Amino acid sequence: MILTAAALIWLGAYVLRGSILWGCAGFLFATCCLGHEFFNVTIGTQVTIDRAGMLVLCGIAVVQRLLGLHDPKPWGKTEWLLTAFLLLLTVHVLVVEEGFGRGNMSAAPYWHLIVGYLFPVGLYFLARQATLDKHRVLEIHAFLIGFGIYLGLTGVLEMSKQWWAVWPGYIADEKVGLHYGRARGPMVQSVSYGLYVSVCFGAALLALARWPLKGKLLVLPASGLMLVAAVLTLTRSVWLGTAAVLLTVIWYCMRDPWRKYIVYGCLGIGLVLVAFKFESITGFPREGSIEDTRSSAECRAQFAYVSWLMFLDRPIFGFGFGNFPEEKLPYLDLRDVEMNMDLIRPLIHHNTYLDLLVELGLVGCALYLAIMIAWTRTAWRLTGDPRRPNWVRYHGILTLAALGSYAIQMMFHEVTFTSIDNSLIFLLAGISSGLFAQGERPSERTEKRWASERAENRRVGQAVDSVV
């Protein structure tokens, strides 16, 4: 009874005084660490901490909006694109027709829609409509750095088999999740873990660029730890995504000519490694044998070929959301090519772009790509606007880096079956969109605050133009 009363008091205080951005950060933590494997109970449907937390967070946002504690911003084209995409997904899930591609309705498409897209879109709008100032946004960056330290330590402890120090305990269970034997963290999946590590690594690198010497000495080891954790995922797409984050931050935070030397040099080294060490890159021992690793790389060709055939049959609206695992089966029996189609028979799609193209057709895939392009453009414009203070431009850089890593993961994996991956990207994109909308029609108070922050930057020798 006492605990319930205390919880209600704290909840009331948060509703009246708390930042909705911290609630969004709390959901990220919950969906990564306190998901189905940590706790679940069936009350008509399965209830988990993160799912319940999202409902509470939305309720708090509604109350804060009614109390005038939010900073509502007008919708732009991106928000209408998101709405159209969600409507298309909903239509695909609700339409149950034999000819449309789903003879037997299951609960899977509903949950895929809710956790894979609806929850992340909710975070996007919550973050976009929240009050966005320097302290609140940089607190999210600090959260990512702290979370990245936890993830990095967890990955190192996993690979050194120090299970007594790993939390949550289900990480040590090889029957839970995927990729046991790699660094996979509380997500129990190396791809999602690697995406978070790469983005947290980007936040740490940006802290190195803006913090004083004492802060740099603290965050430099953290950056190294996250980089080691990314390597320990033993996942090629994660390595590429982390490299994209590193090069993005270097490009925007270093001055010429050094940034060109470093970026072009790294790209050159990468090309040389691919050219001369291709066999080593595509075949190395992970949780399975070297042959298993090579088979994982080779099956992408089968996925691409089958996706092309399916696209040709239904190019406009596709086979229906969530239908690829079943609808691909007849195409695997076609033997007009010399490929082992049985490799992908038990697998879900390994490419989010092609999965969208097959299941939603040109319409759905084009909508999602348009959303990604719009987010990239918004973040890019934040980094290059001299009116905006440094912290706004830093968030634009982080969003660009995160979108780059995310785009790479989508090329090699289907990343939308849980709320983990999309929630991180949609949250950062929502903050960027909110900051951009806030700057397009800045209030007098915002203009004064930005002018004060620019003057402070000049006083400490950090002119706005040094960022780009």
Instruction: Tell me if 102 is assigned to some domain.
Output: yes
Instruction: Tell me if 327 is assigned to some domain.
Output: no
Query: Among 446, 455, 452, 402, which residue's Cα sits nearest to residue 427?
Result: 402
Q: Which residues contact 384 (CB under 8 A, 6 or more apart)?
A: 393, 468
What confidence tier does 10 reach under pLDDT thresholds 50, 70, 90? low
Ranking 5-9, 259-263, 271-275, 464-468 by mean pLDDT, the lowest is: 464-468
**Does the pLDDT of residue 441 top 70, yes or no?**
no
Task: Check: CB of residue 158 under 8 Å from CB of residue 411.
Answer: no
| 302-339 b/e (C-beta count within 10 Å ≥ 16 → b) | bbebbbeebbeebeebbbbbbbbeebbeebbeeeeeeb
Mean pLDDT of the chain: 84
pTM for this prediction: 0.90
Q: Which domain holds residue 63?
A: 2-288+346-466
- At 136, list the tokens: 């609140």
Total structural domains within the chain: 1
Helices (H), ranges, 67-133:
77-94, 108-113, 119-129
**Does the pLDDT of residue 165 top 90, yes or no?**
yes
In the numeric block, the tokens 């879900």 are attached to 348
Instruction: Tell me if 339 is assigned to some domain.
Output: no
Please give the backbone phi and psi of residue 166, each rounded to the nearest 5 degrees, phi first.
Answer: -90, 130
Helices (H), ranges, 18-118:
20-33, 49-66, 77-94, 108-113
What confidence tier does 212 reach under pLDDT thresholds 50, 70, 90? confident
CA atoms lying within 13 Å on the CB side of residue 337: 14
**Can you say whether residue 35 is alpha, beta or left, with left for phi > 0 and alpha for psi between -120 and 50 degrees?**
beta
Instruction: Tell me if 14 is assigned to some domain.
Output: yes
Instruction: Tell me if 402 is assigned to some domain.
Output: yes
Please give the backbone phi and psi of residue 174, each rounded to the nearest 5 degrees, phi first.
Answer: -70, -15
Ranking 11-20, 62-71, 117-126, 138-147 by mean pLDDT, the lowest is: 11-20
- The DSSP annotation for 115-183 comes to IIIIHHHHHHHHHHHS---HHHHHHHHHHHHHHHHHHHHHHHHHHTT-GGG-SSGGGG-TTSSS-BTB-
Instruction: Tell me if 336 is assigned to some domain.
Output: no
**Does the pLDDT of residue 100 top 50, yes or no?**
no
